[in-house]
Amino acid sequence: MRIEGETAFVLHARPWRETSLLVEVLSEGHGRLGLVARGVGSPKRQVLRAALQPLQHIRFDAVLAGELAQLRGAEALDSAPRLCGQVQLAAFYLNELVLRLAPRQDPLPDLFDAYARTRAALVEGGSLAWTLRRFERDLLGALGVGFELDVDGDGEPVDPAARYRLDPEHGARRLLSDRGHGERNAAATGRALLALAADVQPDAEDLASLRLPLRAVLAHHLGPRPLASWEMAGQLQRLGRGAG
């Protein structure tokens, strides 16, 4: 099958054989695709190689046959974001999530749109935590495994004054008041869930409460192998504490 004039975002590229690349993209009309880019190691094809860097927005032509497509040509549609530090790690996390969770050759227009919005938000700045929590919410929804955030698993409205754990299969579950301190700290506030449902950034404390519950849901769908970006973030955090 020929693919012509398809827009996509590059998720990952790695050397393949002597002069080629194996490129993973999130495309607008075909979902996640694996592309074989042959001969891009030659000096005459440096422009093409530059267009196949992670985060790059491209338009490409390819021939799809089986699991992988043979790339016929690609052009950059803008300049790939130049990120550093925590924002660069966040972009790596973004790409890793899509690579691990999005099935190949399954069109997911909502995920494509969410990725485009998040990529732009990383460039614009603002709250990195809020940008990532929104993407995690949108990713789960696009994959069909999300759930309502303003009602609990029993259909009751979320209480802004309560705390909730997120069950991957059943949604928000209210914690009883006698739960241990550690379990409460790993639960989201009702205010945070309602804010995420309404797409309104909560205050810093409520926003922070979303990280671990959403990570637990993602970990359930990822299976036993954790994300490399999670491990990298943990290492950086430990190094930061040691330096302090």
Q: What is the pLDDT of residue 179?
A: 57
Name beta bridge partners: 16: 20
Give residues with Cβ within 8 angstroms of 86, minimum separation 6: 128
Q: What is the pLDDT of residue 195?
A: 98
Q: How far apart are CA 125 and CA 114, in angstroms?
A: 16
Helix/strand number for the chain, H first, E second: 9, 8
Q: What is the mean pLDDT of residues 64-81?
A: 91
Q: Identify the band that residue 244 occupies on the pLDDT scale cut at 50, 70 and 90.
A: very low
Q: Are 101 and 179 in contact (CB under 8 A)?
A: no
Q: What is the pLDDT of residue 236?
A: 74
The structural domains of the chain, ordered by start, are 2-76 (2.40.50.140), 85-243 (1.20.1440.120)
Which of 2-16, 168-182, 204-218 is predicted least confidently?
168-182
**pTM (2 d.p.):** 0.92
Q: List the alpha helices (DSSP H) in 81-144.
A: 85-101, 109-124, 128-142
Q: How far apart are CA 216 and CA 184, in angstroms?
A: 14
**Highest mean pLDDT out of 14-23, 41-50, 79-88, 126-135:** 126-135
Q: How far apart are CA 32 and CA 184, in angstroms?
A: 37
Q: Are 220 and 168 in contact (CB under 8 A)?
A: yes
